[in-house]
Amino acid sequence: MSNSYDYIIVGAGSAGCVLANRLTESGQHTVLLLESGGRDTNRWIHIPIGFGKVMFDREVNWMFETEPEPRMNGRNIKVPRGRVLGGSSSINGLLYVRGQREDFDDWRDLGNPGWGYEDCLPYFKKSEDQARGADDWHGIGGPLSVSDVKDRHPLADSFIEAGEAAGIRRNHDFNGESQEGVGYFQGTARNGLRCSAAVAYLRPAMRRSNLEVITHAHASRVLTTGLRAHGVEFVVDGAKRQAFATREVIVAAGAIQSPQLLQLSGIGPADLLQRHGIDIVHALAGVGQNFHDHLQSRVIWECTQPITVNDDLMSPWRKMMLGAKFALNRSGPLSWYAGLAGGFSRTRPELTRPDVQFHFFPYSTDRTDPSLHKYSGFTMSVCNLRPESRGTVEIKSADPSAAPAIQPNFLERESDVATMLDGVKLIRKLAATPALSRWIKCERDPGPGCASDDEIIDFVRNKGFTVYHPVGTCRMGSDQAAVVDQKLRVHGMQNLRVIDASVMPAVTSGNTNAPVIMIAEKAADSILRGE
């Protein structure tokens, strides 16, 4: 191929893979896909439980960190992001959760016509190959396989019973009529292996002659003439190259790096660009603002019986059996998602919809490395689904290889502190029900010494971390601070779109991979219809 294409996509993550597939499907358009990372050959990418390993592997993970977080006791919190074909969908926890109907209706009501739930649902269905079959909410035959794990675990069953005892109903489908309830999660897996966006969308498209994919290609700048984008400068093997787009440049580098790339290209807050000596192409104050993410706290208990995955890994024989189960039947802990069971609930009865999500894990870890505790441990976590605190992503220098400053401002709003406090109390309430308490020897972390509200809040500040859903830094909207319009075109620019998690006006109430894939499906459709 020459160095001129119809479309250039930066970033082969969840959104980039969908776009590369859909834009080349008709054979009428040529597409160049640039990805900073390499191919997805690491075997731990494809084994579901491998997310616990790739979380710490720089070969496939950017492993960013936040700036010191003032309300999290000054900690630099780890921000893993995929750096490989498939992007974060190649290292994520596989959980398939779309969010609540109201999330999308809120997007629409914030000034984004065409993004209400009824507008988005067809694209969720289009993307999906639901193992349980099609119904009003689910599709079959789409590229993204969604399935159940084969196993049940006595602790996860007890967690669900505990939820019911505490008044939270059982829910078989968090993506169906209503999200509220407790149950087993579904995940993006096919035949027990991860179905990343690369597996689902990119691999089939890579056979097409109108798609060129360049890995280890780091985009350093969007090339512009006046206010029109016409190409991308990128670095491969230390050499600078350029490619040109006759139709559009599409930035799909994720919520951290899409704003970074725009800022490096002279599109962003004027004072920030001036501070770093970058020529202003278009002053757009909202680029890198509105950063927000789900904050999570985990409580760990020691189990009365040696039935946790920690116990499996402490015994060479049981460890071998785990491998055999997975190899022979694609079952057992190696096939599990990041959270076997979980749920969505309201921390206060007057709320009209869930404001927290639980994850239940029949194992425990400190999360400083892939190892599990050397005792029978299990974990319940809680995260605030709709945080109000807002932060920023800003370049620290004009060097495209330098990480940007990520400042989430977790717990800046008192409402977020209150939700986390109530959320931790709620999971402890579940632990105190007979269904779960019969399995509990003691609470290991934070432990019974952490009892007052102040002590619980301090625990959240000391140990809380992101559950990996940063969004919002190139927000869709029609106001002054918005970055893209409802067709995801960058305001004030021509031939330039941003399509990824960064365009979400507000984070969805759940995990973010499914909504990002929906966004890219919808945007591809809009591009192909010539909008």
Ligand X SMILES: Cc1cc2nc3c(=O)[nH]c(=O)nc-3n(C[C@H](O)[C@H](O)[C@H](O)COP(=O)(O)OP(=O)(O)OC[C@H]3O[C@@H](n4cnc5c(N)ncnc54)[C@H](O)[C@@H]3O)c2cc1C
Chain residues in the site for ligand X (CB under 6 A): 10-16, 34-37, 55, 80-83, 87-89, 91-95, 97, 218-219, 252-255, 257, 261, 338, 468-469, 500-501, 511-514, 516
Least distance in angstroms from the C-beta of 414 to ligand X: 27
Choose between 342 and 446: whose C-beta lies nearer to ligand X.
Answer: 342
Q: What is the DSSP letter of 169?
A: P
Least distance in angstroms from the C-beta of 468 to ligand X: 3
- Cα 444 to Cα 176: distance, rounded to the nearest angstrom: 36
> How far are the Cα atoms of 97, 158, 406 from residue 378, in angstroms, in the given order?
22, 12, 31
- Cα 178 to Cα 499: distance, rounded to the nearest angstrom: 27
Q: Which amino acid is at 181?
A: G
Least distance in angstroms from the C-beta of 448 to ligand X: 31
Least distance in angstroms from the C-beta of 180 to ligand X: 18
Structure-token pair, residue 94: 């596989």
Least distance in angstroms from the C-beta of 349 to ligand X: 28
Q: What is the dihedral of CA 106, 112, 114, 118, to 10 degrees?
A: 0
Choose between 38 and 70: whose C-beta lies nearer to ligand X.
Answer: 38
3 state DSSP class of 291: strand
Q: What is the DSSP letter of 335?
A: G
Contact indicator for 93, 105 with CB cutoff of 8 Å = no
Active site residue 292: no
- Cα 321 to Cα 241: distance, rounded to the nearest angstrom: 50
Choose between 439 and 468: whose C-beta lies nearer to ligand X.
Answer: 468
Task: Count Cβ atoms below 10 Å from residue 2 Cβ, excluding itself.
Answer: 8
Helices in 10-116 by DSSP H: which ranges? 14-24, 43-46, 51-54, 101-109
> How far are the Cα atoms of 21, 299, 458 from residue 445, in angstroms, in the given order?
45, 6, 13
- Cα 157 to Cα 341: distance, rounded to the nearest angstrom: 8
Burial classification of residue 437, based on how many CB atoms lie within 10 Å of its CB (0-12 exposed, 13-18 middle, 19 or more buried): middle
- Among 138, 218, 230, 469, the active-site one is 469
Least distance in angstroms from the C-beta of 397 to ligand X: 14
Choose between 14 and 24: whose C-beta lies nearer to ligand X.
Answer: 14
Q: What angle do CA 409, 410, 415 make, to 5 degrees?
A: 115
Closest residue to ligand X, based on beta-carbon distance: 13
Choose between 381 and 512: whose C-beta lies nearer to ligand X.
Answer: 512
3 state DSSP class of 68: coil
- Cα 1 to Cα 455: distance, rounded to the nearest angstrom: 61
Least distance in angstroms from the C-beta of 95 to ligand X: 4
Least distance in angstroms from the C-beta of 503 to ligand X: 9
Choose between 57 and 302: whose C-beta lies nearer to ligand X.
Answer: 57
Choose between 94 and 421: whose C-beta lies nearer to ligand X.
Answer: 94
- Cα 256 to Cα 62: distance, rounded to the nearest angstrom: 10
Closest CA to 90 of 188, 185, 23, 22: 188
Closest CA to 82 of 206, 197, 237: 197
Choose between 376 and 513: whose C-beta lies nearer to ligand X.
Answer: 513
Active site residues: 469
